[in-house]
Each structure stands twice: as C-alpha cells, then as structure tokens.
Amino acid sequence: MSDLEIKNTPLAECHKLAGAKMVDFSGWNMPVQYSDGILAEHKHTREKVGLFDICHMGEFRISGKAALEALDTIFARPVFNQRVGLCRYNFLLNKAGKVMDDLIVYRLAEEDFFIVVNAGTRAADSEMIQSQLPEDVVFEDVSDLTAKLDLQGPLAADILAKAGLKIADLPNYFNWTEAVINDIPVLLSRTGYTGELGFELYFDADKAADMWNYLLSFDGIKPIGLGARDTLRLECGYALYGHELTEDYTPLDAGYAPMLKLDDFPEREFTGKAALKALPVENKLIAITLEGRRAARAGADVLDASGTKIGIVTSGAFAPSLGAAIAMAYIESGKSLDIGDEVQLSAGRSTITGKISDLPFYKEGTVRKKL
C-alpha cells in the first residue's frame, strides 16, 4: 500500500450512515462532525456522553524479560516504578530532547507493555523504539488489529453499567482493567482527551462496527467527531501532537517539568535526558483567553503591549463551553507574563486582545469524578 493512500478505519461505513463530514487527518479519512455539528457534539459530551472513533491511533505491544529496563531508558518519564494496572502519560524524545511523540504506556504484566501513540507519528515511533530495544525484547505493531473507541462524558459509567459492567469494577483514573462488553473482550482504561469522566476501549478491530452500534444503541449517547474532540481537549489545555508538541520543542518548553521529575531520579538515564539537562529552556507554553468570540489560529503571532512579537499560537478556537475564543501559544521563556496580563494576537488583518489564563480553561470537567 502506498504511504499516500488515505486509510479508512473499520467504521468508515458507520460514519457515512450517520451523516458524517469526513476529512483527512494524519492520512486517515476521519469524521470531523456528524449531522448535529461541532457545537452540539461538544455540548453533548460535556453534559451526557459521546462515542469517538479513535481507531486511527497506533498501538504497540512490547514484551520480554528486558522490556521494563529498555522502556525505562526510551521514554522520558519513569517506567520502572509503574505498577501493573496503571496507565502513564509519557514522551518519546529524540537525542536532542525534542518530542517525537506523546503517548500512554499501559503496564499489562510484569514483562508486558501496551503503548498507545499518535496516528501521524506511528511509523517514526516504531522505528525509534525498535532501534533502542535489545534483541530479546519482542516488539509488535498491533495497530491494524486493534480498534479504539473513546467513551467520554459524565454518563460514561452509566453506559458501561447498562452494558452489564459493575460500577465497582470500573478502573480508577489512569488505571486499566479487562472487561467483556457485548461479548467482546476489551482492555478498558479510565483515560481520555475531553476533561470528562471517560474510558478508552481497545479490542479486536474486526468487532469495531459491532461494538460501535451496540454502544450507540443506548439512550443518551451520540457519535462525536474530531472537531469537537479538538475543542474539548483545548478547553482543558491538553497538548495536541503537531501543535503544542513537535520536534521543535522539549517537554520542558511545554511545562512538563513537574511530571518529568528530572531531579528525583538522578541516576536514571533516558534518550534526550542529557540535552534536557544541558540546554536552557527557550520557550514557555501559555494559555490565553481572548476578549470575544473571534479566534486566533495556529501560526498567529503573539505580540506584547508594545507590539513586539514574542511568540506564536499553537492552537486556537472558539471554546463552546466558555462562549469566548481561547488559545495556546509558545512565548520566549524570558518574557515574564502573569495570569491576567494582556497580549495581542494577530488574526488576519487585525489583532485581538487576550489575557494570560490558568489551566484548564474549563474548570467544571468530571474527569476525576469518583464513581
């Protein structure tokens, strides 16, 4: 198959039937919205529950006696102290300390790991990881065999209860468990990208349409496209690979120093660490709330009060839950801006005034709700 050929998930037919508008996303033919539209889908996910086709994302299975030790040197955050049953957000860095991908590591067993990566970086990640694995560690790219559906929204657990699972058996935040839904074995994790209570389901790709139709048969759930997925994640300040995270930035630029805890494990070595320790942090990722509904888009300039360019917008959109536009941007790390300080953002021929915000922009999310 040609690399240029656009790929379909196993749910392409389902999307067509549901009236989806399809777009090319990282080489995949994906639903950007269904007939209700992005604003309605966003609201539905915040208030009820939505189902997302995320089959385009990549999954690797890495196993063997030496797997733990190897992965601990490949990823930026520690793997050695990650218990079986936990999911951990992590980074794949190049030797220069720049971000090749952000991903989630699942520890399935003592010597067995499941890695979930972005669709657009899957091939490069595979090569980078395999180049660093010892021979006795087994690497499998199981992306094409694996379906991924995200079930997100305050009623997500209710849907799983209707599907026969016990609420008490559902995993805690950033934990995973094995479950059977609609007679299909599922790796079920309490993770997501919306800021709401939610789960991610991994299972046999052949069962994708079966599971999709089954979950959508319950009351209160609707299919949600990538358009709303983007506004939902942006309202929470979650980074999107290709925007806030790229090979131009380190995780320290993006504000992940507290997560990396470089000083907590001084002996621990991983790819990119030397560069992170040696180089000054040049950029700072900031959050901006704009004055009105008009958005500043990725690539727009950030100007200080005197009109001097100090940075660049990485993501920007109208935030449906806030009724105003919001943005994320990199500025030079030397610029000291506090919450509430004003900046100007370019938008076409004009500029829009914004104020530095804290994160998340949207603070009512149910993501950590106790079940």
Query: What is the rounded CA–CA span in Å between residue 85 and residue 62?
Result: 15
Residue 247: name the closest of 125, 116, 96, 118 by CA: 96
Expressed in angstroms, the distance from the first to the final Cα of the chain is: 45
Q: Among residues 170 and 347, whose Cβ is nearest to other proteins?
A: 347
Residue 71: name the closest of 127, 111, 117, 102 by CA: 111
* CA–CA distances in Å: residue 292 to residues 56, 98, 125, 180, 307: 34, 34, 39, 46, 20
The two tokens of residue 279 are 């180089």
For the CB of residue 293, give the shortest distance to other proteins in the complex, in Å: 4
Q: Among residues 21 and 273, whose Cβ is nearest to other proteins?
A: 21
For the CB of residue 350, give the shortest distance to other proteins in the complex, in Å: 8
Query: What is the rounded CA–CA span in Å between residue 199 and residue 222?
Result: 15
Query: What is the rounded CA–CA span in Å between residue 319 and residue 20?
Result: 22
Binding site for other proteins (CB under 8 A): 21, 32-33, 37-40, 227, 231, 292-295, 297, 317-318, 320, 325, 347-350
Q: Among residues 20 and 163, whose Cβ is nearest to other proteins?
A: 20
Q: Among residues 105 and 295, whose Cβ is nearest to other proteins?
A: 295
282 in Cβ contact with 333 (< 8 Å): yes
CA dihedral 128, 25, 287, 245 (to 10 degrees): 10
Q: Among residues 40 and 275, whose Cβ is nearest to other proteins?
A: 40
Q: Among residues 116 and 325, whose Cβ is nearest to other proteins?
A: 325
Backbone φ and ψ for 191, nearest 5 degrees, come out as: -140, 175
For the CB of residue 38, give the shortest distance to other proteins in the complex, in Å: 4
Alpha helices in 96-207 (DSSP H): 122-130, 156-162
The two tokens of residue 330 are 């990199």
194: Cα within 13 Å, side-chain hemisphere: 34
For the CB of residue 148, give the shortest distance to other proteins in the complex, in Å: 23
Q: Among residues 16 and 369, whose Cβ is nearest to other proteins?
A: 16
Q: Among residues 250 and 346, whose Cβ is nearest to other proteins?
A: 346
Q: Among residues 120 and 272, whose Cβ is nearest to other proteins?
A: 120
For the CB of residue 100, give the shortest distance to other proteins in the complex, in Å: 27
Query: What is the rounded CA–CA span in Å between residue 229 and residue 144?
Result: 22
Query: What is the rounded CA–CA span in Å between residue 238 and residue 360?
Result: 8
* CA–CA distances in Å: residue 272 to residues 73, 118, 236: 10, 20, 28
Residue 115: name the closest of 76, 143, 78 by CA: 143
The two tokens of residue 144 are 């094409």
